[in-house]
Structure 1
């Protein structure tokens, strides 16, 4: 007598949509208010009930983990897109920076937190891939003589995170419309010839993790 065959049901389309809505809402809120925002607020912005959120993500850390993976995956895609669409090295870097801002890369900040599992193998794999991809993009511009030599990938990540996060308690409406303007000012400062000597040393991804 053969044993019964067990089948794994694929998630329903509405369940997948709810999951995507939760991650998208969490990504926006983490950038605006940080990772400690009440989960009820994330559910409200996603347009779903609390029970639906907890059905997909049993706790805050699980949700943060999936948001970080989502943003890293999409940001990696933006590196490939920039390389494919821009023949000029610094234009590719510029393309990536603006695209990464639209992906709300500031949502990656929780991965530098003490409460985050720094040894998660999937997160570590994606972190290394992203680090190498961004450093490769910057090295192309550096080798082309277009990028100043005293900056590193960590500097880029810090600037992206700071320039894409709203200022605390700011009351200006539509502040997001200034993001790409200010990113362009930052990018102009990365080009050679450098107008000044930067204090300190270039920031790497490892520096950011050690400072958290």
Structure 2
């Protein structure tokens, strides 16, 4: 999968494109390990690239975070489409996607960039729209198959997944501690509650796209 285009939005030479891919991969790992307070200097150190090279492609940390978000959402979109193609109309497909999204959440890979001065770019808006549409398709198919309760929607799912606590940022990449296990524990509870037919009557109407956009703007700056 090709990386998101850098902010300049122009064709890149092969070596520059490789640098962009390396920066995004390393920055994603750094932020997963240390949280989004980690510095660009740490990204440069781990990547072996100079600060100037990073800032040439991503003029500030907000731009870098946004492009990681684009990368993560593209990967999630691929996962949803793969599940739908390989295991349509099954609980297994739904569970596979939910666990994928939970891993992203627990590894702190849904970027946080509060207080940004500008709105997210069109590339992020486009991939978010396509990902939400794919999740709606997944939810609809699971409901048609009778395996997912019929009083929830894709926006419910997104907000529920974001309620699962991320792994605590540490100074190491060791994820064998007890905190890292909580995401797997909680997704099990969540999936059990989402299975059809559902014993509880849900209060309030389901959220819509407006609520999702407000949530990501307020919590992630995206």
Q: Please state which band the TM-score falls in when normalised by the shorter chain.
A: 0.7 to 0.9
| Contact 2:66 2:120 (C-alpha < 8 Å) held by counterparts | no
Contact 1:150 1:201 (C-alpha < 8 Å) held by counterparts: no
Counterparts in 2 of 1:132 and 1:200: CA distance versus 1, 3 Å: same
Query: Rg: which structure is higher?
Result: 1
Distance 1:199-1:26 versus aligned 2 partners, 3 A rule: farther
Partner of 1:191: 195
Alignment of 1:49-88 (within 5 A): 49-88=50-89
> Could you say which residue in structure 2 is the equivalent of 1:131?
132
1:90 CA drift (Å): 2.4
TM-score (normalised: structure 2): 0.73
Counterpart check, 1:27 vs 2:66: no
> How far apart, in 1, do the equivalents of 2:117 and 2:81 lie?
28
1:182 aligns with 2:183: no
Contact 1:69 1:126 in 2 (8 A): yes
Gaps of 5+ in 2: 1-9
User: Higher relative contact order by CA 8 Å / sep ≥ 6: 1 or 2?
Assistant: 2
TM-score (norm: length of structure 1): 0.76
Distance change in 2, residues 1:155/1:9 (3 Å): closer
Mapped contact 1:74–1:103 kept (Cα < 8 A): no
**Alignment partners' CA distance in 2, 1:114 and 1:89:** 41
Q: How far is the alpha carbon of 1:83 from its aligned partner?
A: 0.6
Match of 1:4 in 2: none
**Structure 2 counterpart of 1:5:** none
**Residue 200 and residue 28 in structure 1: after superposition, are their counterparts in 2 closer, same or farther (change >3 A)?**
farther
2:109 corresponds, among 82, 107, 110, to 107
Distance 1:207 1:118 in 2: 17
Partners of 2:206 and 2:115 in 1: CA distance = 23
Cα RMSD between the aligned structures? Answer: 3.3
1:77/1:180 CA distance change after superposition, 3 Å = same
Change in Cα spacing, 1:165 to 1:21, as seen in structure 2 (3 Å) is farther
1:43 pairs with 2:24: no
Inter-CA distance 106–190: structure 2 relative to 1 (3 Å threshold): farther
How far apart are 1:193 and its partner, in Å? Answer: 2.3
> Cα deviation per residue 1:98-145 (whole Å; 9 max; x = unaligned)?
23344558534547x552744622222212111111111111112222
Task: Indicate the SS of the match to 1:180.
Answer: helix
Contact 2:155/2:208 (8 A) holds in 1: yes
Unaligned runs of 5+ in 1: 1-7
Count of aligned positions: 203
